[in-house]
Structure 1
Amino acid sequence: MTLRLVLASASPARLHTLQAAGVDPIVHVSGVDESVVDERDPEALACALARLKAEAVLAEVGTGGDLALVGCDSVLALGGDIHGKPYTDEAVRERWRLMRGRTGELVTGHHLAVVRDGTVHRDTRAATTRVTFADVTDDEVEAYLATGEPHHCAGAFTIDGYGGPFVERLEGDPHNVVGISLPLLRRMLADAGVAWPTLWRR
């Protein structure tokens, strides 16, 4: 069965990751208030945020047509703390002082809703990738900060841009670090009866 894929995310990185894999999703941003979610566990937090975004978009687009809708959210777990997007210069500096030379876990929650004939199949799962950061210098952090990239990335970094050279090693799915685990999404879709190749652009 061929379904249209809806991406409930404003992330250009998630969109580009799907497009590079042959999928052209419809982007529909939720605009939900993420501060309403209070979870101490990284996986529970990422999944709760992904679910919140996806369900908000599903409520907007409705269940009148068949579709597959996915929402995602990523956090970095490091030293017992959970880190999202830093937004400010000082937060980026502080984050990299903590991260450099250390290993953290990038956790991305995925919430999938597959709608067929008005019936909704829901599934929520998380993927975790261990990330080892380079022991970057203060000058490198300042230069990275000046690019503007880390302010809007979970954990103040990404591997598909300026931050790539500052990541020494990954253990797990690299796509997950960008914000959406393609292997996990393929499995979730398969369990809902949707074959991944049916999503490829024709």
Structure 2
Amino acid sequence: MHFVLASQSPARLAVLRAAGVEPSVVVSGVDEDAVAAALTDPSREELVTALALAKAEAVLGMITSTDTVVVGCDSMLSFQGEMLGKPGDAETARKRWAQMAGGTGDLLTGHAVLRIEGGSRVTRSTGTQITRVRFSAPSPAEVDAYIATGEPLQVAGAFTLDGLGGWFVEGIDGDPSSVVGISLPLTRRLLAEVGVSVTDLWSPTS
């Protein structure tokens, strides 16, 4: 069984490796803004799941192995009725932290699992994991220092749990692996729905 992660996220790769899976990484190149714009009034769950599925489907077309499972993910922070993806620049990240400080939001990660069997038959399963995140209130100097590292610019909601941003998270209610970028419990269930046992994916050194 060939396991492919349709993501360039080092955090997702690290989660899988720590959990005994050594995936091949294939970056989808999907235009996330275009996918989102094509949706008609999606729920927050529909939005992140559609983005995850688009990534997995794009990578599926690059696969030549006859028995492969492809996993795509997409994360966004739902805060005060707004879905927040990657800020992309320092000013946007600063505004988001001014908004989030001391507040609570939901980190949603959409998952799509596609399986190729016999080189042609494709089965799929999708789902979304939601984890409540409670933010602390960093000082302006701390926010500036955090933004200067560049870390919050390219991650959903302008924060990480497993990196420098973890200093500014008071706590979470739910699955920590989902906040990092890929929910292990949900991925295990989705793999089972397409007929794959996660234990069969564990690397020999696990």
- TM-score bracket for the superposition, by shorter chain length: over 0.9
* Equivalences for residues 153-164 of structure 1 within 5 A: 153-164=155-166
Q: Deviations over 1:154-184 (max 9, x none)?
A: 0000011101110001011000001100000
Question: Residue 7 of structure 1 aligns to which amino acid in structure 2?
Answer: L
- Secondary structure of 2:96 counterpart: helix
- Secondary structure of 1:29 counterpart: coil
Partner of 2:80: 79
Quote the offset at 1:22 in angstroms: 0.7
Partner of 2:104: 103
Alpha-carbon distance in structure 1 between the residues aligned to 2:29 and 2:104: 32
The answer to whether the Cα contact below 8 Å between 2:56 and 2:70 also exists between their aligned partners in 1 is yes
Q: Deviations over 1:24-56 (max 9, x none)?
A: 000000111111123553211111110111000
Greater than 4 Å deviation, 4+ residue runs: none
Alpha-carbon distance in structure 2 between the residues aligned to 1:196 and 1:122: 15
Partner of 1:127: 129
Alpha-carbon distance in structure 2 between the residues aligned to 1:22 and 1:126: 22
- Secondary structure of 1:15 counterpart: helix
Matched length? 199
Partner of 1:58: 60
The answer to whether the Cα contact below 8 Å between 2:125 and 2:193 also exists between their aligned partners in 1 is no
CA RMSD of aligned residues (A): 1.0
Partner of 1:18: 16
The answer to whether the Cα contact below 8 Å between 1:43 and 1:126 also exists between their aligned partners in 2 is yes
Which piece of structure 1 moves more, 190-199 or 7-16? 190-199
Q: State the identity as a percent.
A: 52
Alpha-carbon distance in structure 2 between the residues aligned to 1:69 and 1:83: 25
The answer to whether the Cα contact below 8 Å between 1:42 and 1:76 also exists between their aligned partners in 2 is no
Gap runs ≥5 in structure 2 = none
The answer to whether the Cα contact below 8 Å between 1:24 and 1:201 also exists between their aligned partners in 2 is yes
Partner of 2:90: 89
Partner of 1:195: 197
Alpha-carbon distance in structure 2 between the residues aligned to 1:158 and 1:196: 26
Q: Deviations over 1:139-168 (max 9, x none)?
A: 110010111100001000001110111000
Alpha-carbon distance in structure 1 between the residues aligned to 2:99 and 2:57: 34
The answer to whether the Cα contact below 8 Å between 1:121 and 1:192 also exists between their aligned partners in 2 is yes
Quote the offset at 1:123 in angstroms: 0.9
Partner of 1:8: 6
Alpha-carbon distance in structure 1 between the residues aligned to 2:72 and 2:164: 25
Are residue 113 (structure 1) and residue 114 (structure 2) matched? yes
